[in-house]
């Protein structure tokens, strides 16, 4: 199996009217020499004609393999040693049953002794001429390994989908549903790019292959939405969260360009949005990780692996990487599989961390309960002694009973926790969730919003100082002056005070 990249000469047919007669009349200088493994002709409305000289030193029939999904139309003129001309027409906008081999690749028979090939390619997206000449045996072997890998890819993505769907059914947490939908769109984008969708799902509707950008845009939209939920951007990096929200709105408009057939602008902006999305999400994940969100590590690793696969396939198509090794050729789907696995690890790690935090909070609550029970037992013992003494001496005064331990019921992934109010330092809103920070540097994620806890806590020594923060006044270490100012808590965490809440807080603190 031989790549034609370095053997190609090309000519741009802006009129798109050239046939074999005009092509043969062109002077040799009209064709430009290509030096790349997979020539990239960019996005253009004209047709590109490729000229290849072939010499078959065997007695086996040869085949032309065009391994690119964005080539909508392919015309091939095969001139053999006798000067006979054979014409073939294929492409992803041609009917599936018109293909020489019924599979997801574009294959054209060249005969036993082809001499000159004229290959015309055109499409609305980036034109990449990744083409090979192979014998029937080599082609069958290549197709076998290709089918095996595609089957493994689909099986792997199905496994990831079912695993996370099962967790969603168990926990009813929206984040897992978002990820399941993201896995579906990832899989769809790959089977669309690899031609598997046309082979298996819509063979009777070749016009559907024209929709290149919209599936990618939907996938981009979902991966950003998943990142915002998983990385808790609204609470941890509010500025980046607002940027991502604005960017989501902009990305949502891109399918309209493809709907109204505004090409090649649609394709160019879709590729640009992909690059911007990668940069934004890497920046967000890195920032959130450095701010202490431990579960971001697998997410960050997943994005790094995926971007690495994109770099490899891009360099290969640019001709910088010349290897045709299996791992290089399938870098994009391999990167997608690894990303899906690492994102699943990230979700599992998140659940493990939340469960550990809940266990730590429960241990702290039990410890405080035991201490309170010991205090009550001691109080009862002292009171009994006092009663005995009072019987002898009427001037003995009974002590006031200690207050019962007040606790906050907190629903979490690990059941309902009962946290002593004295151990709660502050609460931070996380959308429909809430993070509760405790003494001894422990914390727990509650599966209720901050507003649900506010009425009870405000009556028991807590105050709302920001739309996202509720603090225990008894745990305030100091106040820092400013426009709204901020408070430093006993765990050394600093919380901003909104301007509208400043006067109320200062009055409570007696400042």
CB atoms within 10 A of CB 355: 15
Are 471 and 495 within 8 A, CB to CB? Answer: yes
Beta bridge partners of 419: 408
Look up the pTM and report it: 0.79
Spatial neighbors of 392 by CB under 8 A, at least 6 apart, are none
Q: Assess whether pLDDT exceeds 60 at residue 396.
A: no
Are 191 and 334 within 8 A, CB to CB? Answer: no
Q: How far is Cα 420 from Cα 159, in angstroms, rounded to an integer?
A: 42
CB atoms within 10 A of CB 400: 7
Tokens coding 461:
């020594």
Confidence of residue 479 (pLDDT cuts 50, 70, 90): very high
Q: What is the mean pLDDT of residues 211-216?
A: 87
Q: Which of 26-35, 133-142, 228-237, 322-331 has the lowest mean pLDDT?
A: 322-331
Q: Assess whether pLDDT exceeds 70 at residue 324.
A: no
Q: What is the mean pLDDT of residues 441-470?
A: 90
Dihedral angle over CA of 245, 242, 294, 421, nearest 10: -120
Query: Closest by alpha carbon to 23, among 34, 35, 31?
Result: 31
Q: How far is Cα 479 from Cα 502, in angstroms, rounded to an integer?
A: 11
Q: Assess whether pLDDT exceeds 90 at residue 226.
A: yes
Spatial neighbors of 447 by CB under 8 A, at least 6 apart, are 411, 412, 413, 433
Location of structure tokens 């984008």 = 189
CB atoms within 10 A of CB 395: 6
List C-alpha distances in Å: 494 to 131, 238, 423, 487: 60, 16, 17, 6
pLDDT at residue 318, rounded to an integer: 61
Q: What is the mean pLDDT of residues 388-397?
A: 58
Higher pLDDT, 70 or 468: 468
* Helix (H/G/I), strand (E/B), else coil: 260: coil
Q: How far is Cα 251 from Cα 254, in angstroms, rounded to an integer?
A: 6
Average pLDDT for the chain: 87
Are 264 and 125 within 8 A, CB to CB? Answer: yes
Q: What is the mean pLDDT of residues 387-410?
A: 65
Q: Assess whether pLDDT exceeds 60 at residue 486.
A: yes
Q: How far is Cα 415 from Cα 361, in angstroms, rounded to an integer?
A: 12
Residues listed for the chain: 511
Confidence of residue 403 (pLDDT cuts 50, 70, 90): low
């Amino acid at each position: 199996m031989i790549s034609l990249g370095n053997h190609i000469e090309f000519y741009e047919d802006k009129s798109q009217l050239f046939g074999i007669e005009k092509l043969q009349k062109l002077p040799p200088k009209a064709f430009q020499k290509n030096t790349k493994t997979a020539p990239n002709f960019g996005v253009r409305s004209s047709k590109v004609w490729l000229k290849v000289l072939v010499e078959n030193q065997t007695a086996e029939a040869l085949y032309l393999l065009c391994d690119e999904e964005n080539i909508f139309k392919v015309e091939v003129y095969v001139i053999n040693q006798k000067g006979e001309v054979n014409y073939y027409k294929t492409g992803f906008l041609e009917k599936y049953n018109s293909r020489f081999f019924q599979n997801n690749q574009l294959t054209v028979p060249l005969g036993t002794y082809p001499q000159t090939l004229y290959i015309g390619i055109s499409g609305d997206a980036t034109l990449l001429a990744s083409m090979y000449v192979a014998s029937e045996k080599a082609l069958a072997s290549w197709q076998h390994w290709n089918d095996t890998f595609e089957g493994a890819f689909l099986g792997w993505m199905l496994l990831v989908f079912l695993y996370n769907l099962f967790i969603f059914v168990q926990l009813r947490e929206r984040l897992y549903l978002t990820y399941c939908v993201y896995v579906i769109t990832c899989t769809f984008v790959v089977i669309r790019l690899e031609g598997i969708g046309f082979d298996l799902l819509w063979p009777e509707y070749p016009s559907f292959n024209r929709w290149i950008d919209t599936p990618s845009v939907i996938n981009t939209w979902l991966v950003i939405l998943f990142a915002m939920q998983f990385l808790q951007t609204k609470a941890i990096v509010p500025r980046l969260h607002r940027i991502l929200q604005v960017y989501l709105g902009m990305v949502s408009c891109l399918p309209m360009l493809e709907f109204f057939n505004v090409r090649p602008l649609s394709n160019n902006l879709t590729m640009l949005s992909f690059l911007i999305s990668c940069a934004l999400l890497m920046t967000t994940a890195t920032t959130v990780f450095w701010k202490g969100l431990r579960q971001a590590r697998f997410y960050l690793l997943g994005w790094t692996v995926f971007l690495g696969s994109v770099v490899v396939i891009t360099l290969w198509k640019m001709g910088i990487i010349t290897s045709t090794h299996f791992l290089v050729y399938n870098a994009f789907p391999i990167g997608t599989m690894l990303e899906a696995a690492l994102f699943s690890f990230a979700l599992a790690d998140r659940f493990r961390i939340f469960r550990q935090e809940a266990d730590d909070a429960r241990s702290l609550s039990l410890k405080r309960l035991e201490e309170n029970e010991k205090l009550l037992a001691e109080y009862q013992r002292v009171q009994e002694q006092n009663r005995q003494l009072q019987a002898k001496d009427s001037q003995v005064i009974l002590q006031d009973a200690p207050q019962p331990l007040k606790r906050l019921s907190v629903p979490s992934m690990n059941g309902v926790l009962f946290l002593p109010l004295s151990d709660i330092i502050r609460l931070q809103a996380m959308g429909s969730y809430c993070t509760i920070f405790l003494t001894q540097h422990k914390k727990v994620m509650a599966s209720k919003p901050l507003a649900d806890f506010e009425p009870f806590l405000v009556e028991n020594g807590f105050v709302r100082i920001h739309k996202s923060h509720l603090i225990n006044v008894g745990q305030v270490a100091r106040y820092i002056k400013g426009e709204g100012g901020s408070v430093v808590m006993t765990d050394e965490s600093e919380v901003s005070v909104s301007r509208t809440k400043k006067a109320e807080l200062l009055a409570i603190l007696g400042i």
